[in-house]
């Protein structure tokens, strides 16, 4: 299986920090966010065959990430890392997460993939995602319990049945029915990948993978894996970025 890290955004809500540095390279507790993502994938590769890691970014920040990989790529001995540049140089041209994923899948001709949004910090192992996927052969969504309904309004909120099959997905609802939220980590099977282009054509939507999940669960079974321990944060704003760094600093 190949892994895809989606890092094609421009981090406009993190300005001025992200004016010259891609969001995926912003320091979290002294290390770039990408460091933690690649460390997790490298660790996962000892248990599961992760053939390639494809980082998809934009042309503005391609050189920044390329330079990071040239300096520190040696750390990830188990991973064959490839950097792809999406055809955009500014916010108005960006593909969006859905179209960006389609770009990678078509370029590499992939039939299944572990997909990680590049603005995610997490400190837990991803083994259970792959375990579930291999057991069911259905697409899998990583889920985290934020344990607060107000906090859940910031994210894609998930409802599960007794078998952890996703029965409802709402993107940033004003009145969430659950505190379980999508963490931007997915395992897509061949059937889901085959539906992606149809979704884009039928809906015209190119961003927010959560909207694709909401559409997909009406057609195909998608299951959730809940991570109850550890830290997860979506680095989507200056507030969440600062909050995470403070939280990690206070743990020391």
Q: What is the CATH number of the domain that holds 150?
A: 3.90.550.10
DSSP assignment of 35-63, as one string? HHHHHHHHHHTTTS----EEEEEETTTHH
Q: Which domain, by its residues, includes 139?
A: 2-251
The domain tally of the chain equals 1
Q: What is the pLDDT along the chain (252 residues), one digit of tens a residue?
A: 999 999 999 988 999 999 999 999 999 999 999 999 999 999 999 999 898 999 999 999 999 999 999 998 788 888 999 999 999 999 889 999 999 999 999 999 999 999 999 999 999 999 999 999 999 999 999 999 999 999 999 999 999 999 999 999 999 999 999 999 999 999 999 999 999 999 999 999 998 899 999 999 999 999 999 998 899 999 988 999 999 999 898 876
Tokens of 51: 């053939």
Model confidence over 110-164: pLDDT tens digits?
Answer: 999 999 999 999 999 999 999 999 999 999 999 999 999 999 999 999 999 999 9
**Short-list 65, 249, 41, 232, CA closest to 152:** 232
d(CA 217, CA 213): 6
pTM of the model: 0.94
CB 223 within 8 A of CB 192: no
**Short-list 186, 244, 155, CA closest to 4:** 186
């Amino acid at each position: 299986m190949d892994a895809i890290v989606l890092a094609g955004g421009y981090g406009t809500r993190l300005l001025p920090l992200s004016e010259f540095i891609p969001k995926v390279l912003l320091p979290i507790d002294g290390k770039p966010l990408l460091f933690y993502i690649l460390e997790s994938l490298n660790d996962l590769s000892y248990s599961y065959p992760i053939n390639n890691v494809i980082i998809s970014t934009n042309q503005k920040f391609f050189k920044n990430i390329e330079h990071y990989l040239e300096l520190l790529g040696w750390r990830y001995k188990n991973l064959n890392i490839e950097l792809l540049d999406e055809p955009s140089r500014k916010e108005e041209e960006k593909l969006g997460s859905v179209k960006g994923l389609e770009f990678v899948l078509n370029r590499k001709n992939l039939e299944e993939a572990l997909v990680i949004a590049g603005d995610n910090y997490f400190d837990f192992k991803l083994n259970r995602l792959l375990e579930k996927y291999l057991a069911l052969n259905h697409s899998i969504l990583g889920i985290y319990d934020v344990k607060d309904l107000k906090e859940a309004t910031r994210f894609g909120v998930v409802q599960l049945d007794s078998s952890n099959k996703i029965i409802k997905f709402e993107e940033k609802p004003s009145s969430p029915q659950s505190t379980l939220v999508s963490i931007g980590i997915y395992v897509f099977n061949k059937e889901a990948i085959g539906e992606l282009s149809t979704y884009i054509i039928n809906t015209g939507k190119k961003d927010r993978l959560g909207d694709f999940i909401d559409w997909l669960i009406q057609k195909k079974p998608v299951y959730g894996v809940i991570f109850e321990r550890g830290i997860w944060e979506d680095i989507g704003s200056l507030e969440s970025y600062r909050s995470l760094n403070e939280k990690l600093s206070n743990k020391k």
